[in-house]
Structure 1
């Protein structure tokens, strides 16, 4: 997941446990959980340990409840903040919006196709949870009717994702329009609203950081409980899930290269070679925001794009574009449905597509927001969110891979915006 740089205190003033990277904390929690799970029986637990094993899941339950509570306000405030603070020119903005929506939709479709074909969730099996998924048939008119909320705040209370999408988009577009009108008239009465949204956004992010800091405890509890009760069989399908996600990300990269070849003057080889620094930075930091300055630089100096195209794709587009994350969240929903033996019909998979698109837009640039937005995708089709804690055990690696794809998507948008004609008259030596 793309992550902005944060204003942490100097390393020397922070407690030692806060100086350990979250990824390393999760790995340590995973190792300790496996050791404890083996000690408690590894699939054949002693009945005297039943209460202890059951209680191990309590931290994960509490943390996931907190994430679910944060999901809807986070997405709503994040979308409003993005609309209010991002300046996009009219014609270029419309083309940028089409490119971003197309790329994200293709990413999700690729993810769902790979998950449906490879069916990684069938390589292992977990016991069905008490909650079940209702198998309603596809009802387009029903989706339209359900999209209109009865009250403005009701979707926040009910965690109704589709209605939240409608409210956030409507308010975001209107507020952006009002701001543009007032700027043209020399007024700034919009400023208090923008400041209030910025403060709310920062407040939600701080609370999210508190919850994210507790994620290793959730991983420890759920993994230790699973190993103790069922052994290692439930984790066999995680290997298949990793393979499936990597296959889907490779296909998405191939789609990007084909778009670059057909829709721009840049050759795929030049695109890959010139973007190497940006890809490696994104993978090593798991942050497209940290990679953003490097992405912007290589698009101009190594690939040779115009500054306007580079800025729209790498700087503005990065606030909306999270193709790799959208792909991952859609695949996660389908994977978990396969693992627990449930079935997502066509209508539910369509809801997954819509929710993943919106969640990826709202989560762009927010640190570790994938956990929160994934709860939105899961709850939109009735999937139990407790299995998200199992996905966290492999997320530290897949996060880096999908972040590299996010950056590649930003660069692809820039190349397509640059068109079929190079800036050879300006920088002839760069385009040899």
Structure 2
């Protein structure tokens, strides 16, 4: 058992070392892909990337407004109270880009500062954080449509519907860690035949958009908790 345990330990150490090497060369790989695109197509795709960023931010803002409207008419919590009580969770979600790391802060904010019942707070903050990733679903669908336009691929209505459905499924399976959406995005691209080699182009702006959509994911968890708590304060 001692020898086997030592071999397992060596294997894990080697695996971690290899992962560190991969992480170290990812920026170089992204630079190479971006340089290749600039060399063949110029800077036009990156000008369009600016419009894509603005579009995603606008869509996320609309989604946040929808959440606040649902909370206003579907629960006893007022939107202003939720934003004040949950600001620590939203700020942490934006700063860490991880809904998993934000879970305890979200739970504490909903229970102690907003005043929700423990059952409602735990269901939305702890369970919802693993399955309720609306911001990620929205981003992956918009990213697929953006890349399709960039490469000149005309998606039919059925393909666009497939993008939406696979984005929802992929977002449920996305881990609550930074950049996890880019991993599950390959499933969305593959479903409609989009070239996955263009995904690294999104890495140039994803570090910022990831933080924004994580904040929306956390707001979605808060929305679920408030709706579960009902229209009468417990």
Common fold, TM-score beyond 0.5? Answer: yes
CA contact (8 A) 1:326 1:360 kept: yes
Question: In 1, Cα distance between the equivalents of 2:121 and 2:185?
Answer: 30
Question: In 1, Cα distance between the equivalents of 2:212 and 2:85?
Answer: 18
Following superposition of structure 1 onto structure 2, how do residues 256-275 of structure 1 map, counting pairs within 5 Å?
256-275=67-86
CA contact (8 A) 2:132 2:220 kept: yes
The match for 1:376 is 187
The match for 1:222 is 33
The match for 1:277 is 88
Q: Please state if 1:316 is matched with 2:110.
A: no
Q: Gaps spanning 5+ residues in structure 2: where? A: 1-11
Query: How far has the Cα of 1:224 moved from its partner?
Result: 1.7
Match of 1:240 among 25, 32, 51: 51
CA contact (8 A) 2:96 2:178 kept: no
Q: Determine helix, strand or coil for the equivalent of 2:233.
A: coil
Q: Determine helix, strand or coil for the equivalent of 1:305.
A: coil
Match of 2:144 among 333, 342, 347: 333
The match for 1:409 is 220
Query: How far has the Cα of 1:367 moved from its partner?
Result: 5.0
CA contact (8 A) 1:274 1:302 kept: yes
Question: In 1, Cα distance between the equivalents of 2:21 and 2:77?
Answer: 44
Count of aligned positions: 220
Q: Please state if 1:355 is matched with 2:128.
A: no
Structure-2 change in CA distance of 1:370 and 1:294 (3 Å): same
Question: In 2, Cα distance between the equivalents of 1:229 and 1:350?
Answer: 31
Question: In 1, Cα distance between the equivalents of 2:24 and 2:221?
Answer: 29
Q: Please state if 1:289 is matched with 2:84.
A: no
CA contact (8 A) 1:322 1:364 kept: no
Query: How far has the Cα of 1:282 moved from its partner?
Result: 0.5
Question: In 2, Cα distance between the equivalents of 1:212 and 1:346?
Answer: 38
CA RMSD of aligned residues (A): 2.0
- Larger CA Rg, structure 1 vs 2: 1
Q: Determine helix, strand or coil for the equivalent of 2:45.
A: helix
The structure in which a higher percent of residues are helix is: 2
Question: In 1, Cα distance between the equivalents of 2:196 and 2:230?
Answer: 43
Following superposition of structure 1 onto structure 2, how do residues 126-275 of structure 1 map, counting pairs within 5 Å?
214-275=25-86
Query: How far has the Cα of 1:229 moved from its partner?
Result: 3.4
Question: In 2, Cα distance between the equivalents of 1:316 and 1:251?
Answer: 24
CA contact (8 A) 2:97 2:178 kept: no
Query: How far has the Cα of 1:330 moved from its partner?
Result: 0.3
The match for 2:196 is 385
Scaled by the length of structure 1, the TM-score of the pair is: 0.49
Q: Gaps spanning 5+ residues in structure 1: where? A: 1-201, 424-432
Query: How far has the Cα of 1:292 moved from its partner?
Result: 1.0
Question: In 2, Cα distance between the equivalents of 1:210 and 1:360?
Answer: 28
Query: How far has the Cα of 1:295 moved from its partner?
Result: 0.5
Structure-2 change in CA distance of 1:362 and 1:214 (3 Å): farther
Question: In 1, Cα distance between the equivalents of 2:167 and 2:56?
Answer: 15
Scaled by the length of structure 2, the TM-score of the pair is: 0.88
